Amino acid sequence: MSSPIAAARRALLLSVTAVAAVGLAVLPAVSASAHDDLVSSNPAADSSIVDDPGVVTLAFSETLLALGESTDGFAVQVVDPEGLHYESGCLALDGAQVTSPVALGDAGGYVVLWQVVSSDGHPTSGQFEFDYEPQSLANAADGLTQAPVCGEPWAGAPDGSPTPTPTAAEPTPTATDDSSVATTVPSTDAATDAGVDPGDPAAASATLPWYAIVLIVVAAAGAAAVLIVIVVRRSRGGGFGGQ
């Protein structure tokens, strides 16, 4: 029969083991659910600024996840109390930092809404507010009722002139193309300038291949031989078959 002290020790050991098992089981779930946090921003949350920053900058606790140059899953919006948009729709990702151009409007409160893809591959989002109290509203931008698309007109380009996108350059003719045309197209003027008459048979024969010249010579010799035979026979017998 065990003593009360031994029984207490066994109960304590079982309790510690159970607590450790629960802790190990919960730890992976806590780690998996932890997303990257927004650690700083410009403008800062709940701050009051007098100058338009031109760019909203967000810094996170870990390097954000992006596929190559794509920023799918990322978004930054800046809206006023009326819901008008002042962001450009474009953003740049550099490690743990996200930036997006903005052009603020009238004085008052603004809300920055953001969404990023955390280093664990899960999207996370949030928002914060700041106040804008400029000394002058001469350069106040007009907000858009809809969130702009990158490359299209936005509050910073109210004239409707979007940022130009690169286009493929038109192919430029090369010197090789010009020279090939010059060598394949005969020039009558050039032959005339060189003292050669394009209609002169002698000039034309100079351009014939050697085998054509041989055939012409053979044909001419054959015709001459036939003519000689006819003349000889006529002189002897008065023509073919004349005896």
What are the pLDDT digits (tens) for 86-116?
A: 999 999 999 999 999 999 999 999 999 999 9
- Nearest-angstrom CA–CA distance, 153 and 93: 22
Q: 67 falls in which pLDDT band (50, 70, 90)?
A: confident
Calculate Rg over the CA atoms of the chain. 47
- Nearest-angstrom CA–CA distance, 112 and 56: 9
The bridge status of strand 123-132 relative to strand 47-49 is parallel
- Nearest-angstrom CA–CA distance, 85 and 105: 10
Quote the pTM value. Answer: 0.54
Among 59, 41, 54, residue whose Cα is nearest residue 112:
41
Please indicate whether residue 223 or residue 124 has the higher confidence score (pLDDT): 124
CA distance readout (Å), 114 to 1, 41, 48: 67, 11, 19
